[in-house]
Amino acid sequence: MNQEFELIAKTFQGLEEVLAQELTELGASNIEIGRRMVSFTGDKAMMYKANFHLRTAIRILKPIKHFTAKTADEVYDAVKSIAWEEYLDNMSSFAVDAVVFSNEFRHSKFVAYKVKDAIVDYFREKTGNRPSVRISNPDLSINIHVAEDRCTLSLDSSGESLHRRGYRQEQVEAPLNEVLAAGMILMTGWRGECDLIDPMCGSGTIPIEAALIARNIAPGVFRKEFGFEKWKDYDQELFDSIYNDDSQEREFTHKIYGYDNNPKANEIAIHNVKAAGVSKDVVLRIQPFQQFEQPKEKSIIITNPPYGERISSEDLLGLYRMIGERLKHAFSGNDAWILSYRDECFDQIGLKPSVKIPLFNGALECQFRKYQLFDGKYKAFRSENSDKEFKPKREEREARPRRRSEKVTYKDSRKPSFKGSRSNVSSRPSTDDGRPKQAPAPRYIHSRKKNDDNRSER
């Protein structure tokens, strides 16, 4: 019943180590960091928890077959040899996603077609009927990963990408991905110990993800469904116990501030913050960065300014000069983290970063830089803090992707006990295309204290 099996958590390049740490805290075993992924082992409960709790995972895959293939026929034969009745029947629907890095197979769609044909022919020969292929919301999502001649066939336990939390009601142009936003926050080490400010927050992704991290609210609580809920071996009682357990949530005594100079973006952010149930923690205001003033309390800035790619500015370099000026004159004594793309933009800030971390925002190879702001001159600041480690060891080097062969051993953490039931409650709303609709804010399925951010009142 508690048999462990191999699992793979997919993520964005640059977030692998953050994801590995999340898995460590979740209690996963045999954690191994690869490129854009982290492999681990766990039982069914761990697979459910990974989908529900991980903030930096895009999807959780369960490999069911590893094989080598140099031709399309070899892929077909290997897939057809699987006992597919364990996962599907001829009345079910499925979809195949192929990821290919190979000189043998040049087109990922061709590989996907061969996998589809093998499954269809398997059922047609055994039953005379065949399951249907459905791209949107299938009963079973299948993933095949090909690296040269090494193939891994997996079941996708997540279904829709995990970055689609479910709280986003609307979005601005080119919004920051929720997984990337959460990864940026976790990289800074912030867990709610002080105020957090995003002076260019757009639709509010960073403030919302920060509020969920500060209160340790699982990001999966807003989702309408996960892929594994349609599997033949789905254990509803087990998932209910995970879904309803809020014992790890905590109090947050500070504030998160989100500013933007665009009234439409501010309106969208307000809707999204309400949908996420964190209005008590997040303060939103229409305010240009030029008007930013020294905060009264200890604070950290985490922000993602325009790059001049998908979103531009009339004077992009002038914008970054202004950012540097405001940081120097209105944020002394605090740390600021900025994600951007162009070196010439960073140069305009006019400050020396203490940390540079390469991150990908979509296809753009960006950098996430930390600026430590202080009063007076740099040497005086260092001498006054000579008893402190100015640059933590984990930040002394630039992050780099680990190769798949490099292993990292972590200690297992204790697993929390699960309580509660999801029975006799209204079902989560369904949508025809899997995207959030304009609707009243979603509510938690498990019961909550009435004074907990008024979430139980919705």
Write the DSSP symbol of residue 346. H
Residues 6+ apart with CB under 8 A from 224: 166, 428, 429, 430, 431
Distance CA 193, CA 184 (A): 16
Domain ranges of the chain: 5-156, 178-224+251-395
Q: Are 239 and 64 in contact (CB under 8 A)?
A: no
CB atoms within 10 A of CB 373: 17
pLDDT tens figures, 95-124: 999 999 988 887 889 999 999 999 999 999
Whole-prediction pTM value?
0.81
Residues 6 or more apart in contact with residue 294 via CB below 8 angstroms: 330, 331, 332
59 Cβ neighbours under 8 A, 6+ residues apart = 9, 10, 156, 157, 158, 161, 162
Residue where the block lists tokens 């740490």: 21
The dotted CATH code for 178-224+251-395 is: 3.40.50.150
From first to last of its 458 residues, the chain has per-residue pLDDT tens of 579 999 999 999 999 999 999 999 999 999 999 999 999 999 999 999 999 999 999 999 999 999 999 999 999 999 999 999 999 998 999 999 999 998 888 788 999 999 999 999 999 999 999 999 998 889 999 999 999 999 999 999 999 999 999 898 876 666 899 999 999 999 999 999 999 999 999 999 999 999 999 999 999 999 999 999 999 999 999 999 999 999 999 999 999 999 999 999 999 999 999 999 999 999 999 999 999 999 999 999 999 998 765 445 568 889 999 999 999 999 999 999 999 988 899 999 999 999 999 999 988 999 999 999 986 555 455 555 555 544 443 443 344 444 444 444 444 433 333 333 344 333 343 333 333 434 344 434 443 333 444 443 33
Domain covering 5-156: architecture? 2-Layer Sandwich (3.30)
Give the C-alpha separation, 214 to 178, whole Å: 15
